[in-house]
Each structure stands twice: as C-alpha cells, then as structure tokens.
C-alpha cells in the first residue's frame, strides 16, 4: 500500500491538534477537538475546513462548452462568467462517475472541482471524452490549495481579510480576489448547508491563508473542523457523498438528483439510459430517515419491511448533533419507500421515519 | 498522554475496575479508550441483576465513528448501572473515571480484581 497523500496543510493540522486518518488515500484530520462540537460550531458560528485534497481541472478551448454539455448532466449553457453549477457526470449506463462543480471563467475557459478520491479516474475519463472535441482537460489538483469557511459568521470573518465585497458575490457565484494578501478564487459555495465561502489559492499560499482565517475567526467563535463534521453536516443538509448516495451503480435519478439532469439540453453521456429510467420510474431510490433514537445506523445495515424482508441497505448514517438523534440515508426498492421500514441494531428494531432533507433548517443565500 | 489512575485495576480490553472494601466495584472504560473512540453518542448497559462472567460482553459503547463492545473485567452481579449515561453519554468522554462510570458490580472473587493489570501494566499495553 502506498503512503497516503498529504495536503499543503499537513503540518498545520498536526500543529493545531488534528487527529489524522487515512481518507480516500489522503492523510486528513477527522477532527481536532470533537466532531459534535465542530459540527455545532459550523451551524452556530463558523468552521474552517481544509479541502485541499479536492481535485481541480481546467477545461479550455473553443469547444469547451460543447464538451461539457456532452460530459455532464446539468445544462452548462446556463453558465456565465462568475457562475458556478453543481452537476454529475455519468457513465453510458447512467451510473455516476462523480459529482462536481463547474465554474465558468470565460467562453473558452472553465474550472472544475472534483472529489479527492476520484481525481485519477475523473481526469482519465474526462480526457478520454474530450478527444472528440477541440478542447483540453488539464489536471490542476496539485497546484491548488482549498479552504472552506462555513457557517453563519463565515462570510463576515473572511470579509475582515479582503477588499472584495463578499456580499456582492451571490450564492453559487465566484470572483477572483485577494484574501489575507493571497490571490484566491472566492466561491460562494460549500458542502454544509450553511452560508460561507470556498477559497481556492496556490498550494504554497494555503497555509498562510488558513492561519489568517484562523486568527481572524477564532475570536468570533470559528473552530477548525475536520472530515467527521464535514460528513455529518453534509448528511444533515441532505447532500450526496460519492461512494454512498451516488456511485457508478446509482444513477442521479435514483439518488434524487433529477434536478441536475437536463434532458432538454441535448444528448449527454448516459442520457438515453437515464431518459428510459425516468420514463419507467427508478427501480430503487435514496431515502433519508431519522429514528428518534441516538443509536447510529451504520452504512450497509439492512433495511427491512414490515414482514422482515430486506428491501434495501443504509448508505450513510450518523448522529445529528442538532436533532440529537440518528439520521441517515438508504437505498431501497422504490415500491418499499412508501411502506413502514425498519433496521435491526444488535437485536433492537428501530423504525425509520422517512423525511425530506434537510434535517435542520438551513441558510439560503 | 492518557490518564491512568494508580488506584484502579485494568483489563487489556480497556475497562477499569475500582474495588471497594465491601466487595463491590465500579467499572468503566479508560481515558485511552474514550479518547480512541472519540465523541461517545450512546451507551448500552445490562439490566440490574445480570450475572456477568469475566470477559463477557456487558454492553456497547457507540461513538460517531464506531460501535464497540465493552467487556466485564471480572465476574460479578450487576447491582447498578449509570443511568445518567442514557441522556448524557458524553460523560464517558468528559469524565471516564468518575461521572462516566458504567456498572456497579458485586464482585464474585476479589482476588480476580487484584490479578488484573495495574497502572504500569496497562500503560505498557497501550504503549
């Protein structure tokens, strides 16, 4: 097994007490102080996450848009410079290669953010698909560091460090700027359901940026937050995680991401299979649940119907620190999704209460 | 560094025992164990009156990361369980040797407690 990869903030994490774990081949902090406290800090104040392990790619050339329209399911023609789009890219069978953000910098110039564990696979897939188009896909993952500053106080904290008008950058928009003297792409995006920014900068500058955000934010209640809180925050918000709610075997329609699948824009990879799936109705669906109990329902637990038959499996499960009860998501047979469902936790049957996420009220920018 | 009080005895499976003069004993999990588990979210304990064998699973400690069995370090009968952990399992994180205790046992054989690891022996186990 090869040694895990490190982000430019590895020494920063160790200096600040990060508890390091292997995550998708990356040596990353799962927590600093307490996952539950970091989660609450993000919901109530602000949290700083190192997301430098995420991948980035440039897509450039006269047919960049034409290529992206073929590659991804959402409609990139709706983009304009400064706008960000959430989408998935699919295999021909409708399964998901990855979910990603597409940033439009100019008519021939796009910037993508992809999942850390999928970088090699995604770049190879995209470069293969790009062969038919007059454009290039360049892996920029090693060039960028990335921070996520999330929570109701996040924008105010970063505003201390920049002359850019952050309030003037709307949700899912971005601008180039300087934060703490570091050149950044300032993006009003995030993965927690809270207000905030994601900052992309040169890998060599990200430690300086992180220390500056920490220094500005800690007096206001900002905390360092690790991957543990990132996962519970995204699940509480009802956001999918690649490898859980979406995989190469779970289509965006099955995952409830029909809103990023735009059939009217013309064909894209997987669109014929997805159109057939939509017409017929997905055979399975991702549902979100809570239990009224604190026992965490772990991924891969069997989901049972009233007769005790297995009708699905849990794909994500955690404790919502805000609701103080277990929450999760499961992939179940579509016909079962309207029936009473339960899981067995070490001999205790817990009924699943299906809910439409988010599990807690979230800030909408 | 983990806190390993000198007046307790320890099992390799990371439980501690505090024996009283009357033959009863408190049982919990060590500072090292709570720290390794991270945020504890649920503690499942046995019924009062249960007879436990040494090494037998008596409950489950769940953290955000994992669910872990906990084992009876010595044989005994459960006299009391720490019901405060139902609502506040995080007491095990905050105070593993005091407020976070789990069981009060009527110990079957006090000599079995003495045969468990002392603080130095447990320190060697956790390296």
How far are the Cα atoms of A76, A219, A264, B11, B26 from residue B35, in angstroms, in the given order?
A: 47, 27, 53, 17, 20
pLDDT for residue B86 is more than 80: yes
CA distance A141 to B101: 48
CB contact under 8 A, B67 and A298: yes
Q: Which residues of B touch A19 (CB under 8 A)?
A: 38
B69 Cβ under 8 Å from any chain A Cβ: no
The answer to whether the peptide bond before residue A311 is cis (omega within 30 degrees of 0) is no
CATH for A241-355, among 3.40.190.10, 3.40.50.720, 3.40.50.800, 2.40.30.110? 2.40.30.110
Residue A346: closest C-alpha in chain B: B60
Q: Which of B60, B64, B93 sits opposite A319 (nearest CB)?
A: B64
CB contact under 8 A, B41 and A294: yes
CA distance A204 to A227: 22
Sorted by where each begins, the domain ranges of chain A are: 9-54+143-236, 55-139, 241-355
CATH of domain B9-117: 2.40.50.100
B65 Cβ under 8 Å from any chain A Cβ: yes
What is the 3-class SS of B27-61, one letter each residue? EEECHHHHHHHCCEEEEECCCCCCEECCCCEEEEE
pLDDT for residue A1 is more than 60: no
Å from A326 to nearest chain B CA? 10
CATH for A55-139, among 3.40.50.300, 3.90.79.10, 3.30.70.1400, 1.10.3720.10? 3.30.70.1400
Give the position of tokens 């005994």: B76
Residue B69: closest C-alpha in chain A: A346
What is the pLDDT, as a whole number, of residue A364? 59
Q: What is the pLDDT of residues A154-174, one digit of tens each?
A: 999 999 999 999 999 999 999
Q: At what angle do helices A227-237 and A35-44 cross, to 10 degrees?
A: 50
CA distance B59 to B77: 14
Q: What is the pLDDT of residues A269-296, one digit of tens each?
A: 999 999 999 999 999 999 999 999 999 9
Rounded percentage of chain A residues whose pLDDT exceeds 90: 97
Q: Which of A228, A295, A346 sits opposite B64 (nearest CB)?
A: A228
Tell me the residue length of chain A: 365
Residue A348: closest C-alpha in chain B: B44
Fold (topology level) of A9-54+143-236: Gyrase A; domain 2 (3.30.1360)
Q: What is the pLDDT of residues A319-343, one digit of tens each?
A: 999 999 999 999 999 999 999 999 9
Confidence of residue B54 (pLDDT cuts 50, 70, 90): very high
């Amino acid at each position: 097994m090869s040694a895990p990869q490190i982000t430019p903030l590895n020494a920063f994490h160790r200096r600040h007490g990060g508890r390091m774990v292997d995550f998708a081949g990356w040596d990353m902090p799962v927590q600093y102080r307490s996952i539950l406290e970091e989660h609450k800090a993000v919901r109530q104040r602000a949290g700083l996450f190192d997301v430098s392990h995420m991948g980035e790619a440039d897509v450039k050339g006269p047919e960049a848009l034409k290529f992206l329209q073929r590659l991804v399911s959402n409609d990139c023609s709706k983009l304009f410079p400064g706008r960000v789009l959430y989408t998935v890219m699919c295999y021909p069978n409708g399964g998901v290669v990855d979910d990603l953000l597409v940033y439009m910098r100019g008519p021939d110039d796009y910037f993508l953010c992809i999942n850390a564990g999928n970088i090699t696979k995604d770049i190879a897939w995209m470069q293969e698909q790009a062969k038919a188009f007059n454009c290039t896909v360049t892996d920029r993952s090693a060039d960028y560091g990335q921070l996520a500053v999330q929570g109701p106080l996040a924008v105010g904290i970063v505003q201390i460090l920049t002359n850019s008008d952050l309030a003037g950058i709307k949700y899912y928009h971005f601008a180039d700027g300087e934060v703490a003297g570091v050149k950044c792409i300032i993006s009003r995006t995030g993965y927690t359901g809270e207000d905030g920014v994601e900052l992309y900068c040169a890998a060599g500058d990200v430690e300086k940026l992180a220390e500056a955000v920490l220094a500005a934010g800690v007096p206001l209640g900002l905390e360092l937050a690790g991957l543990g809180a990132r996962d519970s925050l995204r699940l509480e918000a009802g956001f999918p995680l690649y490898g859980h709610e979406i995989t190469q075997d779970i289509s965006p329609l099955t995952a409830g991401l029909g809103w990023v699948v735009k059939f009217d824009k013309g064909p894209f990879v997987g669109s014929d299979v997805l159109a057939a799936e939509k017409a017929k109705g997905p055979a399975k669906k991702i549902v979100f649940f809570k239990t009224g109990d604190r026992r965490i329902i772990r991924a891969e637990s069997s989901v049972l119907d009233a007769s005790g038959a297995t009708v699905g499996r849990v794909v994500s499960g955690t404790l919502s620190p805000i609701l103080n009860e277990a929450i999760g998501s499961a992939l179940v047979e579509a016909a079962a999704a309207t029936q009473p469902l339960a899981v067995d936790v070490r001999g205790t049957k817990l009924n699943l209460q299906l809910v439409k996420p988010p599990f807690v009220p979230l800030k909408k920018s | 560094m983990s806190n390993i009080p000198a007046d307790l005895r320890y099992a390799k499976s990371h439980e501690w025992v505090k024996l009283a003069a009357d033959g009863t004993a408190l049982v919990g999990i060590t500072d090292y164990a709570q720290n390794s588990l991270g945020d504890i979210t649920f503690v499942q304990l046995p019924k009062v009156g249960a007879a436990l064998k040494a090494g037998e699973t008596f409950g489950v400690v769940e953290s955000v990361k994992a669910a872990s069995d906990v084992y009876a370090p010595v044989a005994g009968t459960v006299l009391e369980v720490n019901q405060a952990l139902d609502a506040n399992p995080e007491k095990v994180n905050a105070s593993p040797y005091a407020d976070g205790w789990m069981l009060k046992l009527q110990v079957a054989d006090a000599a079995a407690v003495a045969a468990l690891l002392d603080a130095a022996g447990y320190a060697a186990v956790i390296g």
